[in-house]
Structure 1
Amino acid sequence: MSPTTTLLLSLLATQASAHTFIWGVFVNGIDQGTSYGIRTPAYNAAARKGGYNNSPVKDLNSIDMRCNVLGDIPAHNTIKVNPGDNLTFDWHHEIRNDTDDIIAESHHGPSLIYISPDPPTQNSFVKLWHQGKFQTNPFPQPGKWSTTADIKKHFGHMHVRIPAGLKAGPYLIRAEMIGLHEGEVSYLENARRGAQFYPDCVQIEVMGDGDVELPSGVGFPGAYSYEDPGVVHNIYCSTETRKPKTSTTPCATDYIIPGPTVWSGAWPETTAVSVGPVKGATTATPWSTWIGTDSVVTSVTYRDVRSQTIVGSSVYTPSWSEVYATPTATAERW
């Protein structure tokens, strides 16, 4: 990872439980290289193992819902694709190989994929694919869910095809997993709980002479609401839950995936494809080896050592350009 890779410094280090993000992208089964074309989320919890960049977004009103923390900063490279190509997003927790746990076994929930012109607008994200709950089991079993019974069980692979005839140009693919293991209450009601969103964006350039344009879509933030039954949902379907013991969430055995319906222009079936070997590093470089003066500090709090009172703070404010900016290409692939 280059020295320009982002860093999140925070006094309140988050737990590095089995969270997840995209480490690589396969195009028709061929790996494009670790981190290539991916807007990798910012690091946090730097006190342990050199930091993590796999934590969730929980505030539905945050701009981080769009492409995660520092999603407004373009990656150095863009993946070139053609309509009909199969893309396989390679999700992992700590290491990019088949021994990785991908995401915690408890993080049941749906998986979703959107596409938007790059740069996105307030209504430009169009849904290409989603998968939610596909088996209901008796309490206290949560049932079978996309994140844990599909993506996790298939080594972190999530598949989608580039829409047929899609017009050439730059796009962002927004892939996402949602953990509902604490989703029996709204984040607004209890900030220690609430659904966990893991969005990640990949830069692609569609080639060819297609003439199909995307319809109007949804925006992030804005696409999801705390009123959505797919956002506040008790995966155990009981009024007796962990932390808190009682929940006012209705016991719903079915599940409605949040966001819009899948676009009619998306491929009706997205099948798994065989993938080849991984190109590039399979482990993250500890932040201590690459942090420098050109690193981006997104949040930092300064405290008096003795009194522990806050004496100053600084927060990075995302700035999404309305004009496409060609990435500064580099041959380096994490």
Structure 2
Amino acid sequence: MISRVAVTLFASAALVAAHGTVTGVVIGGQYYRGADNWASPGNKESPVRQFPQDTGYVKYQDVTWNMDIACGKEGYKGTPVVAKAPAGSEVKVRWGGDQGKDGKQWPHCEGTHVVYLAPCTNGDCRTFNPKDALWFKIYEAGLDPNQDPLQCPDGHTAWPNKGRWAQNIPFEQDSWFTYRLPKTIKAGQYLMRHELVSMHSAHLRGEPNGAQYYPSCIQIDVTGGGNAQPQGIPATKIYTEEDGILDIYKKSMTYKVPGPPVFKDDGSAAPAPAPPAPTSTKPASTSRPTPTNSKPVTTSVYVAAPAKPTGSKTCKPKRVKRDLHEETQELYDRALAGAHARRAHGDRTGHSF
């Protein structure tokens, strides 16, 4: 007879691949398809860099040394598309997964939503390596203590206490996350790092628990704007390992989104000189160094809830370009749906998913 432990371990292993990808973005009123988790022909039509094959996350133990935390382990190479992005314009990003009534929604409810920018210092994001990037934060949303949690796509309530996580909000908006670009930053090409940090297993240490970091990078060309050139930091300086451990199931808690403060888009900050482009061509580190005790600055708790994307015709790609994507997306959705059978979001025994 197969033991309950064996069945649980098998289900957990299957669910490692059952997370999600960015399936679409709207930038400056223009819709772009998202990126697949394989080298599909459709990826060449997207400003979103490719996702890992397993659609998996960066582990909390790796955030201080592994450059995968910048754009994911498949996000080092660029894509041919750089999206035009007027300074101050609205951006919408849809994360798809295997949850919800249609089985295509982002699966996690508890966690943060943060956005960073990094100038492509070589002048061309299509060839820019994110290990050379210096990131500044433009948006963050964490836990709003003044709101009640919403129901999650799989039917469970996001968490047992008062408060609403940023990842809980888009379930009423077809998994779209919405924010605005700064209006005062200098024009030019940037990598836009859109990240979800899921906290449902952050109350336990060790593999496969802790916070789950899902970075995605989108290539944009900011037009208009001002003269602001915010100082940035390497992706491996955004978090500490301890940021990935937090018991969100306590009866009461407050939460500050880790990382540097959000850039003040009011023109008050003096422009910082653009850093020189690093010349190193070494691959990202694959060995873990001795951890340090340094901890980055923490900032405010919550940013206003994003608005639901409209049905504007400008948000839809031409049909001729969507046929191939729909076929590949169907195959991907069916694969994710198979892993959904034994998802255990309500299980607080320590299993990750």
TM over 0.5: yes
CA contact (8 A) 1:114 1:128 kept: yes
Task: Choose the corresponding residue for 1:196, options 212, 217, 220.
Answer: 212
Distance change in 2, residues 1:266/1:227 (3 Å): farther
Distance change in 2, residues 1:202/1:143 (3 Å): farther
* 1:152-192 C-alpha deviation (Å, 9 max, x unpaired): 33211111222113222110110111111111134xxx122
The Cα of 1:21 is off from its aligned counterpart by 2.3
CA contact (8 A) 1:68 1:199 kept: yes
Q: Secondary structure in 1 aligned to 2:144? A: strand
Task: Choose the corresponding residue for 1:62, options 66, 72, 79.
Answer: 66
* 1:274-315 C-alpha deviation (Å, 9 max, x unpaired): 24354323453559xxxxxxxxxxxxxxxxxxxxxxxxxxxx
Look up the match of 2:221.
205
- State TM-score, norm by structure 2: 0.61
Letter in 1 for 2:180: R
Look up the match of 1:227.
242
Distance in 1 of aligned mates of 2:219 and 2:305:
20
* 1:59-91 C-alpha deviation (Å, 9 max, x unpaired): 213111000112111012110111121110111
CA contact (8 A) 1:166 1:212 kept: yes
Q: Secondary structure in 1 aligned to 2:239? A: coil
Look up the match of 1:146.
165
Task: Choose the corresponding residue for 2:328, options 251, 276, 284.
Answer: 284
Look up the match of 1:99.
102
CA contact (8 A) 1:87 1:161 kept: yes
Look up the match of 1:117.
119
Distance change in 2, residues 1:102/1:147 (3 Å): farther
Q: Please list, as runs of the form range in 1=range in 2, the aligned pairs for 1:248-263 lying within 5 A after superposition.
A: 253-263=253-263
Look up the match of 1:299.
none
Distance change in 2, residues 1:135/1:191 (3 Å): same
Task: Choose the corresponding residue for 1:178, options 191, 197, 200.
Answer: 197
Distance in 2 of aligned mates of 1:20 and 1:261:
28
- State TM-score, norm by structure 1: 0.64
Matched, 1:218 2:254: no
Once structures 1 and 2 are overlaid, which stretch shifts more, 177-186 or 265-274?
265-274
CA contact (8 A) 1:161 1:270 kept: no
Distance in 2 of aligned mates of 1:182 and 1:145:
17
Look up the match of 1:134.
144
Look up the match of 2:125.
none
Task: Choose the corresponding residue for 1:156, options 167, 175, 178.
Answer: 175
Look up the match of 1:322.
none
Distance in 2 of aligned mates of 1:111 and 1:62:
21
Distance in 2 of aligned mates of 1:70 and 1:34:
14
Look up the match of 2:345.
none
Identical columns (%):
23
Runs of 5+ unmatched residues, structure 2: 1-11, 36-45, 121-127, 150-156, 268-302, 333-353
Letter in 2 for 1:284: T
Letter in 1 for 2:84: K
Distance in 1 of aligned mates of 2:234 and 2:181:
20
Distance in 2 of aligned mates of 1:147 and 1:283:
31
Distance in 1 of aligned mates of 2:80 and 2:242:
37
CA contact (8 A) 2:197 2:214 kept: yes
Letter in 1 for 2:86: N
* 1:110-135 C-alpha deviation (Å, 9 max, x unpaired): 11111111245667211111111113
CA contact (8 A) 1:19 1:102 kept: no
Distance in 2 of aligned mates of 1:98 and 1:160:
25
The Cα of 1:29 is off from its aligned counterpart by 4.1
Task: Choose the corresponding residue for 2:48, options 38, 41, 50.
Answer: 38
Matched, 1:27 2:42: no
Runs of 5+ unmatched residues, structure 1: 1-11, 45-53, 239-251, 288-334
CA contact (8 A) 1:128 1:160 kept: no
Letter in 2 for 1:38: V
Q: Secondary structure in 1 aligned to 2:168? A: helix
Distance in 1 of aligned mates of 2:98 and 2:216:
16
CA contact (8 A) 2:58 2:214 kept: yes
The Cα of 1:102 is off from its aligned counterpart by 2.3
Q: Secondary structure in 2 aligned to 1:110? A: strand
Distance in 2 of aligned mates of 1:14 and 1:216:
41
CA contact (8 A) 1:78 1:203 kept: yes
Distance in 1 of aligned mates of 2:266 and 2:20:
26
Distance in 2 of aligned mates of 1:202 and 1:184:
31
CA contact (8 A) 1:18 1:101 kept: no
Look up the match of 2:123.
none
Distance change in 2, residues 1:255/1:216 (3 Å): same
Matched, 1:237 2:250: yes
Look up the match of 1:274.
310
